A and B are shown apart, each in its own frame.
Chain A
């Protein structure tokens, strides 16, 4: 294997990891505020479809991204209303969201299956940085959405750990009763981050249909939403570790894809299994690690919050 092939595979790993990275970041925010949203898969699908539809109508991929972000937030709003205002079971609501998103995207998307689009996010050399030997080729000959995802990591890390709103978010996820007593709006904060999570999931979906493979296919997210949910645990709810996990997954994906292209003797069915199996293994590993190092989930994750009821 030549150097070129290795670099190209690594660059492909970044690309394959990016949609998952966006979704994972979104889920980290929602879960940090205490809301488990298992609807990632559905929100990503709707994001992928609306992004694709709007882009094919306007020939402007940025408008597509905007539409994807909004539609992701809209779906997340259903989840937020049910789980925050009505305090419904978060797992079931998330599953319903996934089904709804799968159904709706399949229903509406039927008309545009296989239709090509003219404008989408193409890779370009990032000024100066792309000239860095080796690293430049892997990290800085990508498309605009990949560059944005790089920016998002330090921003979110700073937000979560170093700002006042970030502190409030963590307080709401860890101990909503105390946060409430301090005058923080638990409901408001949970709504905000659940919607933001939806935005990022929608964006992750749009990455698939507007950059990764610029086409719409039914169920094109293919389980990436679930992989992202597993990666949140692997990442211990930390953005930088989410980046690591997503690229690790991207690498598995890129390698199996290349192995197929090279006609490796292993049947494609087994290669296609690798991302799912790898995710399960990573999840097992991460669960053991978090248990050992007490890096658990936000304490109030999945638990509805209600002020003590007066009876």
Chain B
């Protein structure tokens, strides 16, 4: 006996709207089994996570803080997806953006001018974009697989970042700890009173608006969509495909770089060896889950921000926050399977239909 797929007469609209939700619920259920197997109470663990992420004003604000880099990275990964390009390197691009912006902040420790923050923003955009352009160039000019190169560059970027923190930029007054000196307050992004929510949130929303209009109402955006949906047609129409690839990777990397700037300038206020719990990887799921729609990306990022913050409260509960990664993997699996089931029906061979 074997399973095979039968095409549905029409893909079920209700199902395709339900799939992401069902995927998340099922993933949580499967995660519960894994928690139970380790001898903990899954219900309590989840309650802990939920309260930690959404249960109070403070929790909500912390979730929003994590949402900011997630939106920016996911938008970047999403626009690449739109052109059927895989940017798995948002993590490294985020670090490179933080490196560039951090370098500026450290160069002007007394800097109070209005120009310092814009300069840091610019530096992070350029830093991330340049790092994104490496896999982009290799793809556009030599057709080198961008999945592998963008991913491997993450390792390189993080080592490069850490070199500066352990080496030339280490705080001489830091008792040997691997930190840079704290940034001057002129290099801090303003925050919402009483919370750690910073101006990066506005950047993220602006970026979503920007991408929405870029894709919808510009020639370049149109080309990106055509290249993604029908590369053959794009080629026949004489579109500049290598140029579009470069542009997409530059935007994608730049947005991730900006996310890095937000983290160091809005939250951490100096450089330290790790500034991201894998925002760049989570972004891949968010981009897929939100079907590359800029508005949905914001909502889904909030959800995953909650998952991250909730994961931290698991530590207090005695569980590893690796659970978050398990849940992310499961959600992606279920989403993939679910997408298919909206278009096909599973049938058992031999069964009468």
Enumerate chain A interface residues (CB-CB to B < 8 A).
Answer: 38, 42, 78, 82, 85-89, 91-93, 95-108, 110, 187, 218, 222-223, 226-227, 229-230, 233, 267, 269-270, 272-273, 276-277, 279-280, 283-284, 287-288, 291, 306, 309, 311
User: Of B145, B284, B288, B320, which is within 8 A of A287 by CB?
Assistant: B145
Whether B29 sits at the interface, judged by CB under 8 Å, is no
B86 CB-CB contact with A under 8 Å? yes
Q: Does B201 contact A (CB under 8 A)?
A: no
**Residue among B4, B143, B149, B324 with most chain A CB within 10 A:** B149
Q: What residues on A are CB-neighbors of B148 within 8 Å? A: 226, 229-230, 279-280, 283
Q: Which of B38, B143, B152, B333 contacts A276 (CB 8 A)?
A: B152
Given known contacts A82-B337, A187-B2, A272-B159, A279 and B152 CB-to-CB distance under 8 angstroms: yes
Q: Is the CB–CB distance between B323 and A107 below 8 Å?
A: yes
| Shortest beta-carbon distance from A107 to chain B in Å | 4
Confirm or deny: B162 has a beta carbon within 8 angstroms of a beta carbon on chain A. yes
Report whether A91 and B86 are in contact in the complex, using a CB–CB cutoff of 8 Å: yes
Q: Are B329 and A99 in contact (CB under 8 A)?
A: yes
* Residue from A87, A101, A227, A287 in contact with B340 in the complex, judged by beta carbons closer than 8 Å: A87
Chain A facing B: main interface SS: helix
Q: List 11 A-B contacts (CB under 8 A).
A: A86-B5, A89-B336, A91-B86, A93-B333, A97-B329, A106-B322, A218-B322, A223-B151, A223-B152, A233-B145, A269-B167
Interface residues of B in 220-275 (CB under 8 A from A): none
Residue numbers in A under 8 Å from B151 (CB-CB): 223, 226
Q: Which residues of B contact A42 (CB under 8 A)?
A: 329
Nearest CB to that of B168 among chain A residues? A267
Alpha-carbon gap, A146 to B3, bound state (A): 39
Closest 5 CB pairs of A and B: A100-B329, A103-B325, A106-B322, A96-B332, A103-B326
Q: Would you call A103 and B166 a contact (CB within 8 A)?
A: no
CA distance A102 to B333 in the complex (A): 14
**A92 / chain B contacts, CB cutoff of 8 Å:** 284, 288, 332, 336
Give every chain B residue within 8 A of A103 (Cβ-Cβ).
322-329
A99 to B147 alpha-carbon distance, docked (Å) = 15
Q: Which residues of B contact A230 (CB under 8 A)?
A: 145, 148, 152
B155 touches A100 (CB 8 A): no
Q: Residue of A at shortest CB range from B7?
A: A309
Judge whether B330 is part of the interface by a CB distance below 8 angstroms.
Answer: yes
Given contacts A96-B332, A223-B155, contact A86 B167 (CB under 8 A): no
